[in-house]
């Protein structure tokens, strides 16, 4: 009897505690009520709400009988707890839903196929999100990344069948010819939602080395060329990328053969760029194209000047008279609050009416001075070795002559330093021995520092723009350089290694990486605007990935038949991470995404 009374006391106490916490998490007052059914008494947490203007009791939670509740409380809260990375992919899924990415991809497919319950667009989106969060092979997509995230929870389905064959089959269904159409539709959606401005576009090229075998004849896209990461021993493919200046979102891309020059591919794709953005905006009058000096040629510049406004750059070594003139008339101008020495003139270059600005970049000037000094050190080290060698006659081999030595020294100096900077003298001693002296021409070095280093020449047909606007527009080219740096990061958004070796697969892989970059940059911009985030896109992805969701799995009693009860909660976070989750709207748990992964609309 005593045990029964004690148990009843415990149940009453636990029911009171449960009711208290329910009241803490609800806006209105909730009470514990009992009801009888078939001779048994059941307890529930009930709240009074108005339904159609009348007060009605609304059951918030069924607690069961006093006995079953006591057993649950005695067993404790969940028997199993699992935790998954949630933040990064939840944000990207939300953005993909807003931009209708899956529907846009599926709309352009010539043949619609479902594999393992996923449309082609759905599979490619999942591959892109995985590429953004943790680049891995398609074989390792599930085992190395997806299984440790909340993706299955958000999609409400198992993903363990999404192996390499799944992704290869889905990639096969996307012809490269439809990729520009999908890209154009996505740009239109961004403009429609007010997330993109087309006033200034930044264009440049880069390349990516691969590990494709030299004997592989199925791949024509990857060829040997001048690699920007100093891997000329490997085959490579190139990327022409166009991004918006303000939002830094990718708007146009083209993968091309690795042995083509920047100038050649820019010439080939320029017409396509004009056609694309004329169709999007209706006119090119308000658009200005910014491109680097590697894309310049006399013939190409005439074409650009005829069709669109632009800001480009010229090589100072090809326009020495312009630099000389500018040095005499430099004056200080303010660019983004920083004083810069510059010279502006409207003149004719290559039979084009252009506004020309010559200005001094102190950062470039310091780098050129430092680089020249380092080159001099390396050169002097080699010249010292040569000086010691030619003091003694050779024991064997070719006969040493003054002419051959002079040619060798001239070639060596030319490969390290500007012309005229290093002076030298070679004197014949005996039969095949020589004395070499060399020194820096200090007067020439001073001239280079003061009158040559740091000079940039900008050209534009935007005659109405101020000097500050022109220089600022060119400086924004650094956004594109940062974009290239971002997509070459091995931990997020990495283009390589691509784990594919046919042209079609490499082009679809490039499109997947572009989607990953687009989603990441939109998330990055929102973090900057909503959470005042100051780090890089990679830091943002790392922080969002540390926002985790915990699943509490409550084991059923042995006598009870039914499903396991699962509760989802965000894990406790540090203050800065909690603020980021709130600002990115991750505190509102979404049980399921509305993206049509399994249906062709």
* Pairing of the two strands 250-257 and 288-291: unpaired
Last residue of a domain, one of 76, 106, 127: 76
User: Nearest Cα to 258, choosing from 282, 232, 281?
Assistant: 232
User: What is the residue-wise DSSP string for 19-60?
Assistant: HHHHHHTSSS-EEEEEEEETTEEEEEEEEEEEETTEEEEEEE
Last residue of a domain, one of 18, 41, 76: 76
Report if residue 212 sits inside a domain.
Answer: no
Last residue of a domain, one of 58, 76, 94: 76
CB 509 within 8 A of CB 529: no
Report if residue 40 sits inside a domain.
Answer: yes
User: Nearest Cα to 185, choosing from 280, 250, 299, 43?
Assistant: 280
What letter would DSSP give residue 500?
-
At 75 the pLDDT is 59
Report if residue 41 sits inside a domain.
Answer: yes
How far is it, in rounded angstroms, from Cα 39 to Cα 487?
68
Q: Which two tokens stand for residue 456?
A: 């940039």
| φ, ψ (nearest 5 deg) of residue 162 | -85, 80
What letter would DSSP give residue 449?
H
Report if residue 52 sits inside a domain.
Answer: yes
- Taking the complete model, does pTM exceed 0.85, yes or no? no
What contacts 36, CB < 8 A, 6 or more positions away? 42
The most distant pair of C-alpha atoms in the chain lies apart, rounded to whole Å, by 124
At 283 the pLDDT is 75
Report if residue 406 sits inside a domain.
Answer: yes
User: What is the residue-wise DSSP string for 509-523?
Assistant: HHHHHHHHHHHHHHH
How far is it, in rounded angstroms, from Cα 352 to Cα 354?
6
Q: Which domain holds residue 22?
A: 1-76
Measured CA to CA in angstroms, residue 159 lies from 155, 351, 515 at distances of 9, 62, 21
Counted domains in the chain? 2
User: Nearest Cα to 495, choosing from 186, 156, 135?
Assistant: 135
At 22 the pLDDT is 45
Q: Which two tokens stand for residue 68?
A: 């079953």
How far is it, in rounded angstroms, from Cα 60 to Cα 529?
38
Report if residue 173 sits inside a domain.
Answer: no
pLDDT along the chain (601 residues), means of 10: 50 49 48 81 81 76 76 62 87 92 92 89 93 89 90 87 90 92 91 85 88 84 84 87 89 88 83 84 81 74 80 86 87 84 86 87 89 91 88 76 86 86 85 84 89 88 88 88 88 83 90 93 92 89 90 63 69 86 83 83 72
At 1 the pLDDT is 45
User: Nearest Cα to 367, choosing from 456, 254, 262, 251?
Assistant: 456
Report if residue 228 sits inside a domain.
Answer: no
Report if residue 271 sits inside a domain.
Answer: no
Q: Which two tokens stand for residue 373?
A: 């000094």
């Amino acid at each position: 009897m005593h045990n029964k009374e004690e148990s009843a006391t415990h149940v009453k106490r636990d029911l009171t505690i449960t009711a208290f916490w329910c009241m803490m998490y609800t806006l209105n007052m909730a009470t514990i009520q009992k009801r009888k059914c078939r001779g048994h008494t059941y307890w529930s947490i009930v709240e009074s709400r108005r339904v159609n203007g009348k007060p009605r009791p609304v059951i918030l939670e069924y607690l069961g009988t006093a006995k079953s509740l006591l057993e649950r409380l005695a067993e404790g809260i969940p028997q199993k707890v699992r935790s998954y990375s949630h933040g990064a992919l939840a944000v990207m899924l939300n953005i993909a839903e807003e931009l209708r990415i899956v529907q846009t991809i599926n709309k352009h497919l010539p043949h619609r196929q479902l594999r393992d319950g996923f449309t082609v667009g759905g599979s490619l989106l999942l591959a892109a999100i995985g590429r953004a969060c943790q680049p891995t092979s398609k074989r390792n997509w599930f085992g190395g990344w997806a299984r440790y995230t909340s993706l299955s929870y958000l999609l409400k389905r198992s993903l363990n069948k999404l192996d390499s064959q799944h992704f290869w089959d889905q990639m096969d269904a996307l012809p490269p010819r439809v990729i520009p159409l999908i890209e154009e539709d996505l740009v239109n959606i961004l403009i429609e939602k007010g997330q993109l401005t087309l006033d200034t576009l930044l264009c440049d090229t880069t390349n990516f080395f691969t590990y494709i075998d030299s004997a592989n004849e199925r791949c024509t896209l990857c060829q040997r060329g001048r690699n920007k990461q100093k891997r000329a021993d490997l085959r490579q493919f190139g990327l022409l990328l166009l991004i918006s200046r303000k939002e830094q979102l990718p708007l146009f891309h083209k993968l091309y053969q690795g042995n083509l020059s920047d100038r050649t591919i820019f010439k080939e794709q320029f017409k396509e760029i004009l056609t694309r953005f004329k169709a999007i905006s209706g006119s090119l009058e308000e658009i200005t194209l910014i491109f680097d000096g590697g894309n310049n040629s006399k013939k190409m510049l005439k074409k650009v000047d005829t069709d669109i406004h632009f800001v480009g750059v010229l090589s100072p070594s090809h326009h020495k008279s312009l630099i000389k003139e500018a040095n005499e008339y430099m004056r200080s101008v303010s660019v983004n609050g920083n004083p810069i020495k510059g010279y502006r003139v409207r003149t004719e270059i290559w039979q084009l009416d252009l506004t020309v600005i010559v200005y001094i970049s102190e950062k470039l000037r310091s780098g050129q001075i430092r680089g020249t000094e380092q080159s001099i050190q390396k050169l002097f080290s080699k010249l010292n070795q040569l000086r010691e060698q030619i003091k003694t006659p050779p024991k064997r081999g070719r006969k040493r002559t003054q002419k051959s030595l002079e040619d060798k020294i001239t070639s060596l100096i030319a490969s390290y330093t500007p012309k005229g900077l290093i002076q030298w003298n070679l004197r014949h001693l005996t039969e095949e021995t020589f004395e070499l002296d060399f020194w820096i021409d200090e007067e020439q070095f001073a001239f280079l520092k003061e009158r040559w280093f740091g000079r940039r020449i900008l050209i534009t047909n935007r005659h109405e723009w101020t000097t500050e606007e022109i220089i600022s527009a060119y400086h924004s080219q650094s956004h594109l350089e940062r974009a290239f740096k971002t997509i070459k990061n091995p931990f997020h958004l990495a283009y390589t290694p691509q784990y594919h070796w046919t042209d079609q697969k490499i082009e679809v892989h490039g499109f997947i990486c572009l989607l990953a970059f687009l989603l990441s940059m939109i998330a990055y911009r929102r973090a900057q605007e909503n959470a005042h985030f100051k780090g890089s896109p990679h830091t943002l992805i790392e922080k969002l990935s540390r926002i985790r969701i915990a699943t509490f799995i409550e084991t059923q009693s042995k006598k009870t038949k039914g499903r396991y009860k699962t509760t989802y909660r965000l894990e406790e976070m540090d203050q800065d991470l909690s603020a980021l989750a709130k600002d990115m709207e991750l505190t509102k748990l979404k049980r399921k995404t509305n993206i049509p992964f399994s249906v062709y609309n």
